[in-house]
Structure 1
């Protein structure tokens, strides 16, 4: 096949043609310099986009500056077209403080609200769902903005690609899904990635428009994407774009290109987007060789000057306080005291009322989940919400936890709030990656808050079996950047849920299903909040400290009611991350004995860390080893007698007595 590019200018003005040429020339020259610096050891890694500049420059040139774009690590042209000062990019790549991540992440793994860029996200797929959330925010704001997100042909093999396109289609979101098909996912050719002829063919399955574009032809990229973007702003919808292109260097420089046949490299070398366009502009008299030389000289001077700025910048000196402070967005919560006007309601009603009043307080709050709209959710917590708030803000989702978590994050990027309901906490495994790798790390990486609450109906005692009964809080208390809340009473559930929505950090909010309709309490009717991170001492004593949360608190209360001779401090943690260590340590130092009761299985649970912390901080005050009581080391069984054997409820009294007798 012929290796040439045909350009059709249509009615593009001369200034635009020159702008596109210079736009491609700049990242090409920066890359050539970076490859030199890589060999000199002045940067640590480089993912080359040489040969793909027309896509990044063409797409970015047709977007307005206020429209978000989510590039990959071969899209340097996105950053330069958005006119980010080069010294800041160079500082980023050298791990300097003037970069965008304070040296915490490398190359293009960063975002910046100043330039409306959400940078490369590992593991590739969640980036597409984030674009859904940003686009949903645009649609709800009715601001006539489009969002563009990039991925490679390898990334289209991930389930997140399917989930994100499906959600965008169902919700008619204004997203440009830009797939750079460069033939190889690292070294794996497309023949081993998918069997359809073109990635664009998949658009039919999602019911969305799709196009194939010559990714090396900057005019074709510019004109086709420009027309689409203008139309999408008026008629919001997703469009799948497959850009046929090639990368002329390895996946990253250490990879090399030995796996690529020579004839294929030669073919694409003849389709170089920069050289071809430069020659065409010369032949058409749009530019002269003197202009080209002058442009190259100016860009070289800019690169050299900005490199010197970055080189002169001091190397980062680690500061422990700064590192720890940036894991969460600083937040001084307004504590709104509960009123004395109360009503006796169930745990589930308190959750529902807290969520409803939060929706009333925050006009920019969107709740999402399976079956939560007209049906009201499987537990009926959101029953009646659509009548009050409408389906724009109370959104049924397809069965795709990963994309919805990512979309919730996208809403936060776009300045909104999101609550996502996991239908059952067990199902969070399907959305695990974006929670622990995206929500948790976002503020630490580039200062972007993840204003997301994930509601987690959890727990055993209702005969739901292994897939619907886990209490899996330990999956998340281990992950810096997440907050984990686990109330045991209706009043706490309402106040802490309202506080979680107000908190700009990601919160996993656990709600025990067995407590939903079995626990009643007088709950303040008006909107109020409780401080996250503060435990509640339910009983005061001096013989032993009992620490628990969730259903375990009620088991402990029942045990103490049946054994009135036991004089105990009973601490309901309420919040597992952050922990109220002040209350815990003070109690242990007073009583000298401590027993920790959790519903989760023993090994690796939060009781283990609590035991270690107490031993380290209070060893000289202990009169007995710290005792942990938890469920047995099996999955949760369905049959009632097996479930009772699994849970620690019936073993707690004996373990407590043994500790007191130690």
Structure 2
């Protein structure tokens, strides 16, 4: 406990000197971090918060790397890309937080799930403050852990305040541990400033969890005697409360106890302090001597994704005519046969087979350990998928409808997308997104929301239009170590058929397909738009119209796009999405910027009405851009 305390005291000095930019103090809470870490084995994962310095020191992380991290230098764990404890390290089995707090609890579920599936008898510990227990992610993660009997130790550091909000304004139960009963979960209250109580009780509970896997909720009663971060101060804390907790300082009380027991002497105490201070100064000098992180554009861009070597698996000549929905199902089945560490999670995906029956029979074939029904909790499920990836597995998450991804938006764009760039941990996750209008499903089951994700660095976005591409690209997405959003248009599921190979094959991600060649006009589109374009061209009896099926929206095949632009000089970009902020707008902008001298007309964009998607047939037909597409094609032909 002494080491994190002395490090903190030194960092507070450096903060005042302007040598570090921010500090979140855990002074007075060291017993929790140290006690819990020592109760776990070194190969068990811990997911700490920004007041858990004792977790890192107890795992013996080199101090100079911690100091480099806090100074934003390249030798830190995030190469200067993030600060504080926003990092992880597989070497020390520590997975740091993101500022949104809650998602890491779902990640702990995924890590524990991987251990349980492999029968490894390990515990995963995850920390949160009492403020974080008000987030929906807390409820979702505890509920999943309880339903699946996951060996997760949920550690609440109840330190009295959020930033400045006291607990009586945060929740109404007497103790946060009382919430355990609502999940059917064992819960304990522990005096968080007593190192012996923390260590002994956590040891006993953790060993029991290894033998009998289940989640346990621990509420550690403690206090935050410094501000949320140093600039916040503590003026909002009544003096009498502060004074009462000063008397419960975990280090002073344990030191006094050790003196009384004759275990610690003044000389030994002095030696510990001097040795620790010398270690701090030595490592601080090493970090100070390091050059500041330098900007190299290529390196920054290259680290957004983990390297993904295209594994091309060629298909045989044996084919069968399959619907789009069957091609998706066949890809999933063959990917499960190929990857024994692949897990599928989603609502009703097991015995029921999913609402579109794509995974019908999968639970019988691959077992319910791998084909997992989930509660309605998209955020925690995405978090669990991230945890599975951290612990060496692959995950597919089925959003029942793409619209529902909004409930899991945060961990996708703030965890999965950023994790490789931040600390070189990939997110081996595919999120399947049944999407699109034309089926009379109304505003909450018809969105094509790819634009929410294409501008988020770190995500790949795939949107096939044909069964062949759907199967090959889905297989490729599962192989890819990066997070992939895989859009499947519901209106194509049972309306489009194609002869496709029966065996396993892949289609390269990031390559568009020219499905109709021409010299006069280029139509660039994807998904259902491909079929609308082909129908319109045939109906209008137009000649020499080139049609590009993008297939992959991120990465985008600009090479194929620009080559076609230079050939035809007239461009129409079609999307089912509404135009403002859509990928059609981005493509049009890139064409105008890169190929302006080749254009014989303005770049035309066609998209749906700027409204939510209506339900009634006449309203939905008016919303979609099919009629406008024909008008714009004729207008462009005559330009």
- Matched with 1:271 is 248
Deviations 1:428-460 (A, max 9, x none): 000000000000000001100000000000000
Question: Which of 399, 406, 420 is equivalent to 1:429?
Answer: 406
Q: 2:169 — aligned with what?
A: 192
Question: Where does structure 2 lack aligned partners over 5 or more consecutive residues?
Answer: none
- Consecutive unaligned residues of structure 1, counting only runs of 5 or more, are 1-23
Aligned to 2:604: 627
**Out of 549, 553, 556, which is 1:579 matched to?**
556
**Residue among 522, 525, 530 paired with 1:553:** 530
2:429 counterpart of 1:452? yes
* Aligned mates of 1:251, 1:196 — CA distance in 2: 23
Is 1:47 aligned to 2:27, yes or no?
Answer: no
Alignment of 1:233-632 (within 5 A): 233-632=210-609
- Deviation (angstroms), 1:651: 1.7
1:91 deviates by 0.4
Structure-to-structure mapping, 1:95-114, within 5 angstroms: 95-114=72-91
Alignment partner of 1:37 is 2:21: no
- Output the TM-score relative to the length of structure 1: 0.96
Q: In the alignment, which residue of structure 2 is the partner of 1:642?
A: 619
For 1:100 and 1:524, locate their aligned partners in 2 and report how far apart those are by CA, in whole Å.
45
- Asked whether 1:660 is paired with 2:637, we answer yes
Residue aligning to 1:7: none
> How many angstroms apart in 1 are the aligned matches of 2:543 and 2:386?
48
CA distance, structure 1, for counterparts of residue 391 and residue 573 of structure 2: 42
Following TM superposition, by how much is the alpha carbon of 1:478 offset from its aligned partner in structure 2, in angstroms?
1.1
Q: CA deviation at 1:194?
A: 0.2
What does residue 119 of structure 1 align with? 96
Q: Distance in 1 between matches of 2:599 and 2:408?
A: 41
1:348-380 deviations in Å (ceiling 9; x for gaps)? 000000001000000000000000000000000
Q: 2:33 matched to which residue of 1?
A: 56
| Displacement after TM superposition at 1:566 (Å) | 2.4
TM-score by length of 2: 1.00
Matched positions, count: 639
Are 1:74 and 2:42 matched, yes or no? no
> In 2, distance between residues paired with 1:352 and 1:498?
11
Counterpart selection for 2:155 from 173, 178, 200: 178
Please name the residue that 2:108 is paired with.
131
How far did 1:563 drift?
A: 2.8
Indicate the SS of the match to 1:576.
strand
Secondary structure at 1:187 match in 2: coil
* Residue 134 (structure 2) aligned to one of 154, 157, 170: 157
Distance, in Å, in 2 between the alignment partners of 1:171 and 1:468 is: 28
Question: How far apart are residue 564 of structure 1 and its match?
Answer: 3.0
Secondary structure of the residue that 2:287 maps to in structure 1? helix
SS state of the match for residue 90, structure 1?
helix
What is the distance in 1 between the residues matched to 2:212 and 2:586?
A: 53
Q: Over residues 246-301 of structure 1, what are the superposed CA-to-partner deviations in whole Å (9 max), with x where a residue is unaligned?
A: 01100000000000000001000000000110011011101111001000010000
Deviation at 1:317, TM superposition (A): 1.4
